[in-house]
């Protein structure tokens, strides 16, 4: 499995482990019927940035977590919880060895930077079912342990 996909899975399982069990976690933007509350993780951009003198590059991911909630308080609570959890770096596990449980061996860390949270306004006249949204964006770089 490519290291970038392993990072995807690591963020997905990390997100699943920090939200309450009533929250559905989706890998990628949700499609179809939306069960509230739901959070989704989507990689938006992967860019190679110069790392050292010479031709070396380091991958930098840009991520988005979307929050879909039943009411404004639930949206804000989830947004603040996830935003604050992103102050810590995200462990990366070797999912080529196996999936949780049990936890596979740790192979690295995603260093989190430039966190940003913003409510997304949903217009009542354009949707059948009113729900409350928020988006959290952030960057990560991968570091081997």
The tens digit of pLDDT for each residue in 33-90 reads 889 999 999 999 887 776 666 667 678 899 999 999 999 999 999 999 999 999 999 9
Q: Is the pTM of this model over 0.95?
A: no
- Strands (E) located in 70-131: 90-93, 106-120
Cα–Cα distance for residue pair 59/48, rounded to 1 Å: 4
Could you identify the residue written with the tokens 């935003």? 83
Burial of 64 (0-12, 13-18, 19+ CB in 10 A): middle
Decide if pLDDT at 136 tops 70.
yes
Task: Enter the tokens of residue 129.
Answer: 């079912």
Terminal alpha carbon distance of the chain:
19
User: What's the confidence (pLDDT) of residue 114?
Assistant: 95
At 105-132, the pLDDT tens digits run 999 999 999 999 999 987 777 776 778 9
The enclosing domain of 69 has a CATH number of 3.30.2000.40
Count of the separate structural domains present in the chain:
1
User: What's the confidence (pLDDT) of residue 50?
Assistant: 66
- Residue 12: which region, alpha, beta or left (left: phi > 0; alpha: psi -120 to 50)? alpha
- pLDDT band at residue 102 using 50, 70 and 90 as cut-offs: confident
Q: Which domain holds residue 80?
A: 3-144
At 1-45, the pLDDT tens digits run 899 999 999 999 999 999 999 999 999 999 888 899 999 999 998
């Amino acid at each position: 499995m490519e290291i970038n996909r392993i990072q995807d899975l690591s963020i997905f399982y990390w997100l699943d482990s920090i939200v309450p069990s009533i929250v559905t976690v989706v890998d990628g933007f949700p499609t179809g019927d939306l069960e509230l509350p739901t959070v989704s993780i989507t990689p938006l951009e992967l860019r190679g940035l110069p790392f050292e003198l010479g031709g070396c590059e380091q991958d930098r991911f840009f991520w988005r977590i979307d929050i879909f909630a039943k009411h404004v308080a639930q949206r804000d609570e989830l947004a603040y919880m996830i935003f604050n959890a992103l102050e810590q770096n995200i462990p990366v596990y070797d999912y080529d060895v196996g999936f949780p449980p049990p936890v596979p061996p740790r192979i690295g860390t995603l260093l989190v930077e430039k966190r940003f949270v913003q409510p997304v306004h949903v217009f009542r006249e354009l949707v059948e079912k009113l729900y409350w949204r928020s988006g959290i964006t952030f960057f990560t770089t991968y570091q081997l342990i």
